[in-house]
Each structure stands twice: as C-alpha cells, then as structure tokens.
Chains A and B, each alone.
Chain A
Amino acid sequence: MTMTAKTTKKTENAILTLGPVQFNWPAEKRRDFYFRIADEASVDVVYLGENVCAKRAPFFDPFIPEIADRLITAGKQVVLSTLALVMDKREQESIRELCLGNDYLIEANDVGTVAMLGTRPHIVGPFVNVYNEGSAQTLVNGGAQVVVLNNELPGTTIQSLANNVPDCAFEVQVFGRLPLAISARCYHARAHGLHKNSCQYICEQDADGMAVETLDDEDFLSVNGTQTLSHAICDLSAEIHEMMEFGVRRFRLWPHWVDMVKVSSLYRQLLDDEIDADAMQSKLQSVAGFADFANGFYHRKPGADHITSSKKKRTE
C-alpha cells in the first residue's frame, strides 16, 4: 500500500473491509444482507464466498454475480474468498474454477490456493499462517498484495510486520467472533447426532453459531459446522489508532446477524476521529451486544480476555 508522506489526517486512507460471512445464512437472506451493505454500509471492500464448508457453497454461489455487480456499482471493491481446509478433488476443482473463471481479486485461505493463483495478484487470507516477516515476504514475492493476519497475533507482531514488510498491506480483524479452529469433522452435525455427510444443513439454525457453554454455564465457544469460533466478540476499537500508527490501514469486520450497517458506521466514525473509542464501544454494545467483547490476543493475553485501558501495560 502506498503511504503518503505529506501530513494528512492520519486516518485518511484507512480501509474498512467486510470479511466473508462465516455462517450458513440462507442464500436469499445473505443476498439481501449484501444488497443493504452495497446501498448503505461504510465499508470499502467486501469479501464474498465460503470459507468453512464446501457443502454450503452451491446455494450461495449463483447469487454472487448479482451481488458483486451491486457492490461494485456502489463503489466497493469485491474480493472472492475461498475455503480454508481443502481436502478433496471436488473442493480443489471448485477453487480452481473460481480462480481461473473470473477477474475478481481472490483471497486464498489455503496454501494450495496461493499456489493455484501463481503470480496473479491476490490476497492471503487469515487462515494461512503468516506469523513473521520471512513468511510475509515470501508470499509477497509470489504475488500477494494483502495479508490478512491470524487473529492470535499480538500488537507487537503486527507492528513488526507493518514496519518490516513495507510492500505488503496487512489487514487486521477488529470486529466479530474470532474463528479459532477448523476441522474435517462437523461439530454442528455431531451435536445433533448426525454426520457431516448427512448433516441436514443443521448449521443453518444458528445465524451467529451454536453457543457452547462450560459445565458451569459459562459462555465459552461458538460452533459453526466444522469451524469453532470464540463466544466473545473481538473488538479492537481501542487499539485501532495504535495500529494506524504502526502503518496498518486495513481493518476487517466479520459479518454477524446484527445491524452491520450500524457496526460499520461506528468503526468508520472511529477511524475518522468523529467519536472516541469509549463512546464507540458503548454504542457498539447496543448494536452488537449479544456477547461480551474481547481483545486479549492483541495484548498477548488469552484471547477471551478483555483488557480495558486502565489495565493496559504495553511497552513500545
């Protein structure tokens, strides 16, 4: 990403992105969600496509061209995102078709997809492990323009990467439940006494994932088919300006079944210095307060922790 040297408002070229929907929302609902995003949301980039389960993709894929057109007409960049765990020929072939069959920018979420894209410019998604400068540089040399960072990376790592790999734009997940694991096994199906092959698309029942509680009734995780997410909602609104100082300019919101137009508008106001983080968080609470907020990973703490400003002890 090009950084302007002139003194401008530091937030001027911040990009707000909307990651691909992680959950199994019915295709028409998902389409309508994106139409509203196109018309009203303050995001610059929208990722479309399926990251979690190949079985879901055929339902939504036919809607993608229409949605992409509407998003592009609204001035947003469209990125097609791909599966994180690719295990068989059918999955490989569907990704190959996607990569070869259109001119959209692709987000690769598996190293195999990175390889398929060759030197064509692309985005490396958060499900490919990039923990350090050497990995980022190798991928940039291969054609990556943007690397979306793994959510367990601390702020110090984000800073080091942003400083030392100047020809790569890094994107950080700032809002939403954190994808924590992916498996060959479907836990949604398992919880309902089913197998992945005969799952009855049971994951459709839970628009933000199936709540997993500990035996002492504490909110813990969230299951989304083969994916396991945090129960808590990541919110890095208090950290976003520090990341701007590091040189990070791309911030990702994960879609949830809440008013994402309002959520994006709050982050936009924060980036534009129209609202401070405390005020923003209390407003965010009223829009997306379906779980507690967490930001522990950024502070090298358990990801479930919520570190408030009085507790922060970051050494620069």
Chain B
Amino acid sequence: MTTTPLQLVCPAGTLAALKAAVQAGADVVYLGFRDETNARNFPGLNFSREELIQGIRYAHAENVEIYVAINTFVEAGRPEPWHQAVDDAHVLGADAVILADIGLLDYAKQKHPDLRLHLSVQASASNPESIGFYHQAFGIKRVVLPRVLTFEQIRDLCRQIPVETEVFAFGGLCVMAEGRCSLSSYVTGCSPNMSGVCSPASHVRYQQSGGDLVSRLGEFTINSFPEGEAAGYPTLCKGRFQADGEVSYLFEEPTSLNVSGNLQELVSAGVSALKIEGRQRGKAYVAEVVSSFRQAVDALAGGRSFENHHLGDLSEGGRDTMGAFKKTWR
C-alpha cells in the first residue's frame, strides 16, 4: 500500500468498478454482498461470494485491501443472512467488515475474534463516549464518522478516541444523521436501516404535468421541473417543498459533498482515511474520482499544491458543498 497521510477508501458496486478503483490508486476498496445486508442494496449491484473471491484476489495482488460493508440492521427473528455475510467475509479473506448493528458487532466479535471490525457511518457514532462504547464492547478499530461534524469537532474527537477515523470526502451527502432517518420508509416502506435503500428507484415515477416534469416518490411529489430545467433524481431530502409560504429545497439542494480542497485540515485533525461515496456509480465515475483523490493525497504527502478542476463536473447537479464540515452549513 502506498504510504500516504490519508488512506483512500473507494467504492465498488461491481467487479469492473473494483478493478477501476484499484487501477486509479485506491488503498482500499469497500463493497457489499448482493442482498439486504448492505446499505446500497440496489438491483444489479454488489457482489456474489464468487465475485468477492475474484475481487479480493485482484486487489490483494495489487496490495489493495477489501472491506465488506454489512451495515444494515439485522431483522428480528431472521439474523441468518447477516451472520452468513460476516462469516463469509471472514472466511474469504476480507481485510475488515464495516458494521452498524450492536447485535451483529457482538456476533462478529464472539465468532471471529481475529476479524477487523470498523464501525459504519450508519451507527451514527458522533461523540467519544459512543465510539468508546463500540471500542470497549466489540474492539472496533476504526469509526466512519457521521456527516454531521465540523472540522473542529472532528479534531476534538480524534484526540479523545482510541480508534482510527474515516470521513466521507466526496459524493452523495446524507443531510440527516445516518442510521437515524426513516424518511424513505415513511414514503416507500423501504428503509436504509432495514432494506439498505433510500428513495428506491422502484418507487420513483416521472409524470408530465402541463409543461412541467414532476418527479414522485411513492405517493408524494418530490420535485417539479419546468421545461429547460434538468430533472434530478427524487431523493427525498433533496426535493423541493413548501414551508411557511415559500417553495425551496428545504433540506438540501441537489449537490455532492466535496472536501478535496481541505485535505490538510483533515490530516491536521487526525483523520486516518477518506471515504468516497458511490457504490452505485459506474466504473468511469469511480476511476475519475479515485484518480483525482489519489493525485490530491499524493500531492499533500509530497508537500505540493494540487487543484482539481474535474471533480466539480462529477457532482450532483454540478454543485458541491463542504456539508457539515463547515459550521455555517448548519
């Protein structure tokens, strides 16, 4: 693995994306199994056991690690798919599993004491006591921080916890605390925590209404686009709604998180790894984003400046934000 101040943890929803990420300079590729045990449970995406074997073989040959996200919450009375996922990730040689569920962490620790456990962002662990609990009870080695903290809060946190921290650096931005949002299930019956999906495509419809293109999720209108305005995907929290007599993007505009310009602040804060969101993305996107971040991280390590002009084009709606990293976002 390249020695850099920030490990680059990159997404893959397919074997092709995994290879693209490895070639573009990933230190780690994270992925999930093709079922409800992971938080990107989308049709046609993710890995069979056989594909994981191939992926691990490919990545390990290039000194790249593989993390398996098993980060939905175990269904009561039916733990088998989640237990099997942990067992298989272990036996097939994953370098770590990323878990959120307290019961599943307990299972993994008891059953596979040598398996490296990371705490998923879905656990919403945002303070030292919470992270300390998961460390003490289950021996987690790393926490993926929820996208609710400022640079300053991350710096304070890193000083107080005995585990590594990984933060989201680029891609989709949950504006609600992760793992604590039932908006999608309120509208569609499918939840990130239970089904591994948010605002699923199976519940999306586009309708023509007058001159407008209306996007709907379940029974609710999420947005409406006049002719000439590009229509975005109706992710619930990125919709346009009415409140207090005003129409607005009440929760957040369609935008992507991008902290590529602030990597030094993350290093200074004590962050160990950068996570790039996007297991649902194609290999070209993965290659472009990973390669940009590879250059940025290497430039930082070499004390060079680096300006990336391509990442903005890859953002949702062509816009990006620093999200909660900046206090004024709140």
Contacts and interface: CB of A to CB of B under 8 A. Distances in A.
Contacts of A151: 182
B241 interface: yes
Nearest to A157: B76
A137 B241 contact: no
Which of A130, A150, A228 is most buried by chain B, counting CB atoms within 10 A of its CB? A228
Interface in A170-225: 178, 180-187, 190-192, 195-197, 210-218, 220-221, 223
A178 B186 contact: yes
Given A138-B106, A212-B250, A184 B148 contact: yes
Contact of A303 (B175, B182, B237, B244): B182
A112 B133 contact: yes
B251 A187 contact: yes
A214 B221 contact: yes
A302 B199 CA distance: 12
17 contacts: A88-B153, A112-B127, A112-B131, A112-B133, A115-B133, A132-B76, A181-B181, A182-B180, A183-B251, A186-B330, A191-B243, A197-B327, A212-B243, A214-B222, A218-B221, A223-B250, A302-B189
A160 B76 contact: yes
Interface string B4-36: 000000000000000000000000000000000
B51 interface: no
A29 interface: no
Contact of B149 (A87, A110, A112, A139): A87
A112 B194 contact: no
Nearest to B149: A87
Interface string B194-215: 1000000000000000000010
B77 interface: yes
A160 B77 contact: yes
Interface in A120-152: 127, 129-139, 150-152
Nearest to A131: B73
Interface of A: 84-89, 91-92, 110-116, 127, 129-139, 150-153, 156-157, 160-161, 164, 178, 180-187, 190-192, 195-197, 210-218, 220-221, 223, 228, 230, 296-297, 300-305
A131 B101 contact: yes
A85 B330 CA distance: 14
B296 interface: no
B242 interface: yes
Interface string B166-207: 000000000111011111011111010110000000000000
Interface of B: 73-77, 79, 100-104, 106-107, 123-134, 136-137, 148-149, 153, 156, 175-177, 179-183, 185-189, 191, 193-194, 214, 218-224, 237, 240-244, 246-248, 250-252, 324, 327-330
Nearest to B237: A181
B130 A215 contact: no
Nearest to B327: A197
Contact of A180 (B102, B181, B327): B181
A182 B125 CA distance: 13
A130 B134 CA distance: 15
A92 B187 CA distance: 33
A304 B104 contact: no
B106 A230 contact: no
Contacts of A157: 75-77
Nearest to A153: B76
B101 A129 contact: yes
B127 to A, nearest CB: 5
A87 B251 contact: no
Contact of A131 (B74, B128, B218): B74
Nearest to B125: A111
